[in-house]
Amino acid sequence: MCGRLLVLVFLLFAQLGFGQSQMSLKAKMVDYINDNFLLLSGDEGGVYVVDSATVNTVGELKFSWNGKFGFYRIAGEMGSIDIRIMDNNFDFTLTGSIGNGELSFAENDENNQYQYYLSELNLLNKSIYKLHADLEKQNVKDTLYKDKYAEFKQLKKEKRSFLKDLWGSNIDSWSARFALAQQELVPDIKLKANKADEYYLKHFFDYFAFSDTLLVGTPVYYEKIGKYLKVIKLNELIKNGNYKKIKELLGNLFWLTELDPGSQKYLANYLFNRYPEEKYPQVYYIVAEAYRVLNTCEYVLNSRIIRNRIANAKNIKKGWQAPDVALYHSLDGRFQSLSDVNSELTLFIVWSGSCKHSVELLTKISQLYYLYKELGLEIVAVSLDNNLDFWRQTISYKDFSWINACDTDGLNGSVASQFSIHLTPSMFILDPSLKVVAVPQTFFQLEKVLNEVFQ
């Protein structure tokens, strides 16, 4: 009991995160006395609330939290402020209102440059959108139309020139990259309806670097993805049941990640959280499939068998009764089948030593194994490798010390067949009766389920 309690305490600290320290933020915002604000940050699953506070009677907003240096967002009813905090005690002043006022940071703080870029682009965007709205209302033959249209084109040219300069000459600075990430190009007024929408979508991510490790997982990153989902009218497509179009659009979004595994992971977790399997099963499976294409090893078998397995895999969800498969070539003679495993929770993984995605996932899981083992978790990893020596060398070299077995028949074997396996790695969390508790698609989802079960 004492050991279990110690592990729970350790996990609590682990969730808070190693390398974290006491942080504080103080902002002078005299125009917002008594207004409430949230301090937001991002992780693998999306944006979350770090702290909340109210501007006091002397115009000071104060946040205090245990965290890390990085990107944060201060959000209120009247707008938000994005900042990069690289000091345990951070402060700034806002003179005027959010979006129109002046933000001042410490001397030589790159947040000053970032806010300058945003303010310049904000002025251009406001003028461009205003002229666009005016031109839509005016008759093309109107004498003022020609002059306004010329002004509209000139402003668009200035904005594009500004963006190109940031992209070319200043791309090494985070302030330029973050300012660029928040920009879109406005279609020409002469492009109507579908043509205008096509142009906007085509250029939506022109200045957004999915592979930027500083950008990925920040509120700016998730805001852009959320905006894209709104632009493509995903909720409307879901309502109309147009899953073929949803598959095309979300598939394109994953390919835009430039085959960067880190960005794909954050994108997938965000979409899984936004469209959970229980409420949006079709969308969830589309996201899972798009993620798997780029982050798993798919295998070629009889196409009809694979198609059937893909279809059957959708039925393996919470409550599904897992078969009591044999654990061939088990390295621990006590375990000859799944039912021999006596644990509160079993993580059943089907993998392959020749699949780099499998090895990467199992390596991450091995770092958590002993912590959760003390709480009642056991891991059973069945490899589909046909070379037993290669399999043994892999688990020995990587120190995978849980229950290991190998079905040398691979995809033709009973494990792959009964669990509808068509790619590796595949994970299934089982209760003592071998009923499925969850089918995590990513390591983040796995951690989330384990934390929920063992807390």
Q: In one letter, which amino acid is 379? A: I
Residues 403/335, Cβ–Cβ less than 8 Å? yes
Angle at 323 between CA 320 and CA 324, to 5 degrees: 135
Q: Is the pLDDT of residue 161 over 70?
A: yes
Tokens of 336: 């000859």
Residues 348/323, Cβ–Cβ less than 8 Å? no
Residue scoring higher pLDDT (399 or 258): 399
Mutual angle of helices 243-255 and 261-274, in 10-degree steps = 150
User: Which class for 8: exposed (0-12), middle (13-18), buried (19 or more C-beta within 10 A)?
Assistant: middle
Rounded to whole angstroms, how far apart are CA atoms 207 and 270? 21
Task: Single out the residue of 168, 164, 260 nearest to residue 221, CA to CA.
Answer: 260
Residue scoring higher pLDDT (294 or 104): 104
The pLDDT of residue 49 is: 97
The pLDDT of residue 19 is: 66
Rounded to whole angstroms, how far apart are CA atoms 173 and 166? 9
Rounded to whole angstroms, how far apart are CA atoms 25 and 46? 22
Q: Is the pLDDT of residue 4 over 70?
A: no
On whether the 19-106 domain is CATH 2.60.40.10, my answer is yes
Q: How many CA atoms lie within 13 A of 46 on its CB side?
A: 14
The pLDDT of residue 193 is: 84
> Rg of the Cα trace of the chain?
26
Average pLDDT of 215-237?
A: 96
Residues of the chain above pLDDT 70, percent: 95
Rounded to whole angstroms, how far apart are CA atoms 41 and 47? 6
Q: Is the pLDDT of residue 236 over 70?
A: yes
Q: Is the pLDDT of residue 140 over 90?
A: no
User: Which class for 408: exposed (0-12), middle (13-18), buried (19 or more C-beta within 10 A)?
Assistant: middle
368: which DSSP letter? T
Where residue 297 falls among pLDDT bands split at 50, 70, 90? confident
Task: Single out the residue of 255, 317, 309, 324 nearest to residue 284, CA to CA.
Answer: 317
Rounded to whole angstroms, how far apart are CA atoms 213 and 260? 10
List residues bridging with 52 in a β-sheet.
38
CATH 3.40.30.10 domain position(s) in the chain: 301-454
Q: Which fold has domain 301-454?
A: Glutaredoxin (3.40.30)
Residues of the chain above pLDDT 90, percent: 80
pLDDT in tens, 23-35: 999 999 999 999 9
Q: Mean pLDDT, the chain, as a whole number?
A: 92
Q: Provide the b/e sequence for 183-220 (b: ≥16 CB within 10 Å).
A: bbbbbbbeeeeeebeeeebeebbebbbbebebbbbbbb
CATH 2.60.40.10 domain position(s) in the chain: 19-106
Where residue 16 falls among pLDDT bands split at 50, 70, 90? very low
Q: How many CA atoms lie within 13 A of 99 on its CB side?
A: 10
Q: Is the pLDDT of residue 341 over 80?
A: yes
Q: Is the pLDDT of residue 8 over 60?
A: no
Sheet holding 79-85, edge to edge: 46-54, 36-43, 70-76, 79-85
Rounded to whole angstroms, how far apart are CA atoms 220 and 213? 13
Tokens of 253: 């979004």
The pLDDT of residue 296 is: 87
The pLDDT of residue 301 is: 62
CA 432 to chain centre: 32
